[in-house]
Chain A
Amino acid sequence: MRMTITEKILAKSSKRTSVIPGENVWLDVDVLMTHDVCGPPTIAIWKKEFGEKAKIWDKEKLVIFPDHYIFTKNSHANRNVDILRQFASEYDLPNYYDVGTERYKGVCHIALAEEGYNVPGTVLFGTDSHTCTSGAFGMFATGVGNTDAAFILGTGKIWEKIPESMKFTFYGKMPGYLTAKDLILQILGDIGTDGATYRAMEFDGEAVNSLSMYERMTLTNMAIEAGGMNGIIAVDETTKNYLGDIGVDEYDEFKSDDDAVYHSKYSYDVSKIEPLVAKPHSPDNRDTVRNVEGTKLTKCYIGSCTGGKITDFRYAAEILLGNEVKVTTFVVPASTAVAKQLEEETIKGFSLKNIFENAGCILAESSCAACLGGPSDTIGRSVEGDVVISTTNRNFPGRMGSKSSQVYLASPLTVAASAIRGVITDPRELL
């Protein structure tokens, strides 16, 4: 039967020869990921529901990254990390990445990729809506709540409704002023924050294939911003090279059949797309940077699982080299590996870290930081009256802190250009 890539993976995971959108199936889960915000309640539900005989279905398949509320004095937040630490030691978990140790990684979705948990053809569930990020590796990945995660923790299984698929094809060669962020903001403006609810979003086309794995992860990361169940990009040479470099070389490659059935298909010519923003207070409130140019800013933020990867900092550094920022600008590497790369990679003899420091940016340690506001002492948190431009993925009221702040979402190029001018600026003026 003709199937999309998502349908093929879910058929394999439910041990069927084929699946049809709309039917509910029980899936075998390959990896369960959790973090400090949803891990403790997940563990509590698991203990309560399975009682004395509570057993982890497969310790090797459980991955825990404390990453959300890490560098804070908030005692409740610290207690959550303590609960994870204790759980990991009690059950002798192999895949726990503790804060304050060499193993600490930073934001879960990026760490999953770096540590080799993203394996094509597999099924990954996480207690975080941006778990869809991992779909960039030709796998099925989606977010669930604590009850579902507790159920997986004890059984390795979960029900899921087979999603219909939507296809987004980007033709042409990516212009230097565009990034994956602009592509996904384009889609969000077209289909809205519920345009893909309960559906799979499949990305392909020459422009998508030309993107690095990290840029692809920006596309799949924001599938949830359209309500998507998962985002997915089929394996190609770029995927294989990335995986080969980190020692992952056994996996199943699935591709959509040419005559697979889609809910809808969208195609774009990237040469016609302009640098874009999402205006307050929704990721689908798209406009061109040109239309909002000159908007006065109080903060700029480059970070998160969407916009704090090494590729995002390369883009930002390209613009910030030799310039100074006019407004407070935060640089928050998504992972400790990215932070290390900022020190090692250079442009014209300057490390990326030096470029940011010389431009007057504030560098923070790897974590989710102000992407989701966080406790009151979180670095970069927005305050009343703030107008922020950010490389993150959500600008709902209060998402980055104060509900009276205004947050614009944009590409790292646009954020860096805006930081230099202190007002929203089209990166084409500085490239």
Chain B
Amino acid sequence: MEKKIIGKAYVLGDNIDTDQIIPAEHLVYSTNDPEELKKYGHYALSSVPVEKAGLPDGGIPFIKGDDHKSEYSIVIGGTNFGCGSSREHAPLSLQVAGVKVVIAQSYARIFYRNSVDGGFVIPYESQLKLNDKIKTGDQVELNVEENRLTNHTDGKIYQLNPLGDVFEIVAAGGLFEFARTSGMI
């Protein structure tokens, strides 16, 4: 597990549901064909309404043109991130697009589990609501050991909740790795 994760922030509103993260019509692509997998990155966050894409101003595409990688590697949300369906394609598509961490005030259970158990992105909980404090494009740095987020653009520092119970699974890289290292399978 990396100790420091640095990248540009992409800021979203509250209640970002899985249909906004990866619209259902794209769930047909194979997840183990490397070429098709890229589609998940390409369509990541494609159903977020334009005015809410990249806050505070909106209108900032997460993915440009035909790309499948985003220039943003840290997604900042508000409350109830990842609500909606059980599709694991949601954290997967963020990972394919190059996202390493999501920081939200709260998560829907299945998205949270999928992120952790699949080892796709690290779902951090912020103590404060950060999606009205950080702007899309800000350069931010996550210190994983100290659960601290620094916004280099304005110099502000925020404390995040420790990963708690799931830390070991996150550190192992997912449920299977965790189960292997602990001798379960």
Contact = CB atoms under 8 A, between A and B. Distances in A.
A143 interface: yes
A197 to B, nearest CB: 6
| Main secondary structure on B side of the interface with A | loop
Interface in B143-185: 165, 174-176, 179, 184-185
A44 interface: yes
Interface string A189-226: 00001100110000000000000000000000000000
A199 B113 CA distance: 14
B118 interface: yes
B7 to A, nearest CB: 24
B110 interface: yes
B88 A155 contact: no
A394 B30 CA distance: 25
B48 to A, nearest CB: 8
Interface stretch (B55-63, B68-76, B78-86, B131-139): B78-86
Interface in A379-420: 394, 396-399, 403
B88 A44 contact: no
A375 B27 CA distance: 9
A374 B24 contact: yes
Interface residues of A, number: 49
B20 A396 contact: yes
Contacts of B87: 37-38, 145
B25 interface: yes
B117 A148 contact: yes
Contacts of A227: 80, 83, 108-109
B30 A40 contact: yes
A114 interface: no
A170 interface: no
Interface in A163-187: none
B68 to A, nearest CB: 17
A399 B113 CA distance: 22
Contact of B80 (A126, A193, A376): A193
B42 interface: no
Nearest to B114: A145
B93 interface: no
Contact of A127 (B29, B86, B117): B86
Nearest to A24: B165
Contacts of B17: 394, 396, 399
Nearest to A226: B83
A293 interface: no
Interface residues of B, number: 42
A154 B176 CA distance: 11
Contacts of A147: 88, 114, 117-119, 174-176
B89 interface: yes
A129 B15 CA distance: 16
A372 interface: yes
A350 interface: no
Nearest to B50: A403
A375 B25 contact: yes
A148 B19 contact: no
A41 interface: yes
Contacts of A340: none
Contacts of A128: 85-86
Interface string A15-50: 000000000100000000000011011001000111
Most buried by B among A38, A143, A147, A397: A147
Contact of A145 (B30, B79, B106, B110): B110
B110 A129 contact: yes
Contacts of A6: none
A76 B88 contact: no
Contacts of A375: 25, 28
B25 A373 contact: yes
Contact of A376 (B25, B27, B119): B25
B87 to A, nearest CB: 7
B49 interface: yes
Nearest to B52: A397
Residue with the greatest number of chain B CB neighbours at <10 A, chosen from A69, A143, A227, A282: A227
A262 B4 CA distance: 40
Given A194-B108, A394-B19, A44 B32 contact: yes
B28 A76 contact: yes
Given A40-B30, A193-B83, 15 more contacts: A38-B86, A38-B87, A38-B88, A41-B31, A76-B29, A79-B30, A146-B88, A151-B117, A151-B176, A194-B15, A194-B108, A197-B108, A373-B23, A398-B23, A403-B47
21 contacts: A38-B87, A69-B28, A76-B29, A126-B86, A144-B86, A145-B113, A147-B118, A147-B175, A148-B114, A154-B185, A155-B185, A197-B106, A197-B109, A227-B109, A229-B109, A372-B19, A372-B24, A394-B17, A396-B17, A399-B17, A403-B49
Please provide the 6 A-B residue pairs with the shortest distance between their CB atoms, ordered closest to farther: A145-B88, A76-B28, A145-B114, A194-B80, A143-B86, A147-B118
Interface of B: 15, 17, 19-20, 23-25, 27-32, 47-49, 79-80, 83-89, 106-110, 113-114, 117-119, 165, 174-176, 179, 184-185
